[in-house]
Each structure stands twice: as structure tokens, then as C-alpha cells.
Structure 1
Amino acid sequence: MHPRWWSTWSGILAMWCVSRLPIRVQWWLGKVAGLLAYHLARSRRHIAEVNIRLCFPELSAAQQSALVRNAFIANGIGLLELGIAWFRNPAGLTDITRVHGLEHFEKALSEGKGVLLLGGHYSTLDLGGSLVTEFIEADVMQRDHNNPLMNAVMTRARERRYGIVLGARDLRGLFRSLKKNRAVWYATDQDYGRKDIVFAPFFGIPAGTITATSRIAERSGCKVVPFSHFRREDGPGYDIYFHPALEDFPSGNDLQDATLINKTIEREVRRAPDQYLWMHRRFKTRPDPNDPGFYGRR
């Protein structure tokens, strides 16, 4: 209740209020929020512009600009969808949600060694994850929010949807879940620095990619099942995709494994390029520390 948290509480209250609105109204408000961010958050827009220019060189300058704008709109909608994921029961959205390839997940789980759900940072991050738990049981690994109050609200909300919420460094908890033949939501598609990584191509650009996924699969014997979730463009609705478990994984070659992971995520991003988190500096860490960075001042 200290005044230092009043602004955070105001934001949480606003999210709760918006979550009670019809889904079409929320999408419209999210579009407005995304356009405001596009015009005001210049540093984030610059990062998105650099990423899209690197990853989609085949697009014209006008097409790249349109994709940047659409990415801000999609992520603006995703921001408002947090309210649904945190404060409402996503079961109310199952009638407008299509699940594809659930049999791939069930086959992997039948092996009895647990399943690592290889996800990505799509704009439907929280809502998509919540919707997934309406069809399967899963635990989740999360990176804590920098704001302790927001982190507490986020964690409490996820604890209502997932079986167990694991910290990003809680590998013991992760292995316990896999040993119980549970599924764990897991994402690797961000730049975590230079420790324990290899540089594998992502959209043709060498990207620092953690090798922990191979270590986890090797030690636990779990299956790694790629999955994704996107907002449908033809009206309020969502699609969830499960794919066959990665074959010959781990291979014993970290670079080969990381390349396969990045290629898999890239394939999913291409389904709906505007619904990816392009505002993250995915290529911040360069193979040679002396190489000029991509994200210098505009």
C-alpha cells in the first residue's frame, strides 16, 4: 500500500477493467495502444526496424515499415490480452480457439520422460499459454518481472493456470517436473548474453543461442515438442499449433541442435511475422565482441 506502488496498482486496475470488455473492443484498444507506442517509443521502434531489416531483406522498404507498424499493433493487443490471461478464465475463449496437432504432444508424452514445450515470444505470450492449459496440463518456466508487485500478480495468475510456476534458473524444479512426465513451457529465443551459447543462424543472422535445451533433453530423456499460438486475422479467435517432437535431438553437436531450434522457431514466426516480439535486441551479442553492434543510435 506504500505510495511508491500506487502507479503499479493503477496499471493493474486498468488491466482488470479492460479485461471485462468484449474481445473485439479489447483488440481495438490494443491497436490504439500499439500505434501510440509505435509513435512514442522511438528506441523500441528502432530495434524493431533493425531486426526486420535484417530478417526480411527480401521485403521492400515500404513493406518493412508496414511490418514494423503491424508488429507494434499486434504487441499492443497482446499487452491488453494480459488482462484476460491474468484476471479472467480463458475457458470462455475455447470456443474461438483451434488446436492443431494435439496428437503430436500426446505421442511425445506417452514416452513417459516428460515434454519440453519449445515456445517463443509471440505477442499472444500469456494468453496463448493460458489457452494451452485448457487443453493440456503443463508447468511453466518464467523470467521474473523487474517490478516486484507486477511479478507477484503475474506469478499468482500463472499459478492458477499452470501446475507449477518455475523460476528461470530453477533447473532442479524443471527436472522434477519432467521426471513426473509433465510438460513444461520453455522458450529460448532471446539474447541472454555470452555465457553457455553458440552462434546459430536465425533468419540467416548468427544469433547467440543457449545450449541448455540440449543439456536438459540429454539428462532427462524428455521429448522437445515445438508449439506456437497466434491471433487469427479473420476475426476474434486463436490458433494453437503442436508439432512432432524434434528428431535426433540432442545430436551431441550444440551448434547443430541450436540451428534446429532456431530454424523451428523461425518457421513459426513466418506464420504471422507481425505477431513476434521484434522489439527485443535478439542480435545484441555478436560472434566477435569487436564487431559493431546492430542497434547503435539511429
Structure 2
Amino acid sequence: MIKNNTPKFALSLLHPRYWGTLILVGVMYLLSCLPYSWQLTMGKSIGRLAIKLMKKRRRTIERNLELCFPTMLAEDKQRLIAENIDNTGMGLFETGMAWFWSDERVNRHVTIVGLEQMEQLAKEGKGVLMVAVHSMNLELGARAFGIKMSGMGVYRPNSNPCFDYFQYLGRSRSNRTLIDRKDVKSMLHALKTGERVWYAPDHDYGRRRSTFAPLFAVEQACTTTGTSLLVDNTDCVIVPFTMVRDDKGHYTLTLRKAVEDFPKKDPDAAAAFINKIVEESIMAAPSQYMWLHRRFKTRPEGQECLYK
């Protein structure tokens, strides 16, 4: 059975210590009401301003691209960095869109490709592990899909209970519920009972339940073996998806063909297999990926840190 860990509203969330959070959420709501073209322009401007104040984040973006694409031309890399910074700022607005927009407004801005496959899998009662990557607009993609077919998202509860309440409320608006990323039993139960579970195995989650597998030009990237655990114990179907914003500001959520030949009962081979899917998903829109995350922070024993 899936645990019910839904954060509840309490008067304690109005305590002065949370006023900053309440103001942030209020601003996100107000910004989400603006015309989309305004949000797009403001998002890019905020991204450029924020990165000037967070120089370590810029260095992380640069280092990740250097590690993943060592042969990329310098001018191409600088262009990608600039676009990624713009999209990082836009991510704040896209989160507000996901949390606060009406279904009608979401549908107007997002096109979903490949929904028929998901409908067929639902008729067959198949559990589906929907493999995502941390693109800046991931939350908007989950919301758009949830309007058509509900699913369950895997997430990390925020240590700030006030923000966690609004995060949960926004993310579950068009989906059934969220599952704590540590709650493996609930994930397994959901997949065994034919549910759709959103899952993003592209970050470095540390040594626990992980192995080292190639990712782009990095031969040993710490990669979760959680995908193997879920697939091996439920016989679910893996469906990768991408969420991409085009130059005109329209989004396309593409549900790719269900994965075949996944290497079961072999976590190391499965991690390498999944990383190939991750690479393909990132390359659908590399400038819209969360490169500011220290993806390669965990190294094999005896190897130096790749970040300064």
C-alpha cells in the first residue's frame, strides 16, 4: 500500500520564520498570471542576474559541459552556457506555470506526442516507469501529462515544511500523489498495480544503491541502480519522455517508444543502458537541462573530486 505522507496545512506555517517562503510562493503565483511573453522575457533576465550573484553555479555549468563535451568548440560551448543561464531563470516561471495555471492554459501551451501508447498500456494494466531527466520545465511536463492521465511523482520532501506544503500541492495538482524517493515499497506497489510513476535517474544521488557507468565523455558517473530494482521486481514498462520548449515558446512533451531489451538482473549493465537514455533525452534540448547540478560529485574510491 502507498503511504499517505501528504503535507497538511497548519497555522504554524504562518509563523514569521516562513514569511520569506510565503512571499516567494505569492510572487510565483502573481508572475504566473502575467502574459506568457512577459514571463519568458523576465525569466531570462532573472537567470542572467542570478548567475552573476551565484558564480559557483556558473562554474558548475561550465565544468559539467567541459566534462561531458570535451571536443565541443569554445564558441558553441559559450553559446550553450548563455542559453542555459536564460533557461535556468525561466525555470522559476515554468514551475509557477505548473503549480498555478489552469488546465486550459496548460493545454494551450503544451502538445503531447505519443499519448496513444500510454492509453494502450493502461488498458493492458501495465505499470509504467516514466523515465525523465531534470530539465528546467520538467514540472510543467508532469502537469500537462497529468491532465490527460494521472501518475505518481517521485520527489524529495523539502526540509522547509512551508515550502514542502506548497511544492506538494502544486506537483500533485493533476496527479494522484507524490512518493518520497526513499519510499521504495510504495513505488513497487504502484508499478505492480498498473500505475504510472515519474522517475528521474539522471542525478548523482550518492553511493547508496548506485554504481559507476559511462555518461557522455565521463567514463565513471555515479548512477542509481534504483531503475533495476523497480523493473526487476515489477516487470513494468519503461517509457522515456522529453519536454522541450521551442523558439516560439510552445512546449512539446514527447512520450518515446517503450524501451526494449532492458538488461534485467544486471544493475551495472542497466545503469549504462539508462544513461544512454538520459543522454538522448538531454540532447533533445541540451540548453534546457539542469547543468548547474554537480552531476559528477561522487567519485570511485581514490579518485579526486572533479569540481574545484
- TM-score class, shorter-chain normalisation, is over 0.9
Deviation of 1:123 (Å): 0.7
SS in 2 for 1:133: helix
Segments ≥4 residues shifted beyond 4 Å: none
Trace 1:90-169 onto structure 2 (pairs within 5 A). Answer: 90-169=103-182
Deviation of 1:151 (Å): 0.9
Deviation of 1:107 (Å): 4.0
Q: Give the aligned partner of residue 237 of structure 1.
A: 250
Q: Write the distance in 1 (CA, Å) between the matches of 2:104 and 2:302.
A: 50
Query: Contact 1:214–1:249 at 8 Å: present in 2 too?
Result: no
Q: Give the aligned partner of residue 66 of structure 1.
A: 79
Trace 1:1-298 onto structure 2 (pairs within 5 A). Answer: 1-205=14-218, 206-233=220-247, 235-287=248-300, 289-296=301-308
Deviation of 1:91 (Å): 3.1
SS in 2 for 1:156: helix
Query: Contact 1:27–1:77 at 8 Å: present in 2 too?
Result: yes
SS in 1 for 2:147: coil
SS in 2 for 1:113: coil
Query: Contact 2:143–2:173 at 8 Å: present in 1 too?
Result: no
Deviation of 1:195 (Å): 1.6
Structure 2, unaligned runs of 5 or more: 1-13
Deviation of 1:152 (Å): 0.8
Q: Write the distance in 2 (CA, Å) between the matches of 1:24 and 1:237.
A: 11
1:173-213: CA deviation from partner (whole Å, max 9, x where unpaired) = 21222222111111111111112211111112121111111
Question: With structure 1 as the length reference, what TM-score do the two structures score?
Answer: 0.94
Q: Write the distance in 2 (CA, Å) between the matches of 1:65 and 1:128.
A: 27
Q: Write the distance in 1 (CA, Å) between the matches of 2:189 and 2:198.
A: 14
Query: Contact 2:45–2:89 at 8 Å: present in 1 too?
Result: yes
Which residue identity lines up with residue 304 of structure 2 in the other structure?
A: P
SS in 1 for 2:126: coil
Structure 1, unaligned runs of 5 or more: none
1:9-29: CA deviation from partner (whole Å, max 9, x where unpaired) = 111111111010011111111
Which residue identity lines up with residue 221 of structure 1 in the other structure?
A: D
Query: Contact 1:105–1:243 at 8 Å: present in 2 too?
Result: no
Q: What is the identity percentage for the equivalent residue pairs of Structure 1 and Structure 2?
A: 35
Which residue identity lines up with residue 222 of structure 1 in the other structure?
A: C
Q: Write the distance in 1 (CA, Å) between the matches of 2:214 and 2:197.
A: 25
Which residue identity lines up with residue 75 of structure 2 in the other structure?
A: A
1:220-258: CA deviation from partner (whole Å, max 9, x where unpaired) = 11111111111112x121011111222122432212111
SS in 1 for 2:129: strand
Query: Contact 1:269–1:276 at 8 Å: present in 2 too?
Result: yes
Which residue identity lines up with residue 227 of structure 1 in the other structure?
A: F
SS in 2 for 1:285: coil
Q: Write the distance in 2 (CA, Å) between the matches of 1:33 and 1:145.
A: 23
Computed over aligned residues only, the root mean square deviation of the Cα atoms, in angstroms, reads 1.5
Q: Write the distance in 1 (CA, Å) between the matches of 2:124 and 2:249.
A: 36
Query: Contact 2:239–2:258 at 8 Å: present in 1 too?
Result: yes
1:139-192: CA deviation from partner (whole Å, max 9, x where unpaired) = 111111232211110101222221121111122221222222111111111111
Q: Write the distance in 2 (CA, Å) between the matches of 1:280 and 1:110.
A: 38
SS in 2 for 1:251: coil
Q: Write the distance in 1 (CA, Å) between the matches of 2:263 and 2:236.
A: 10
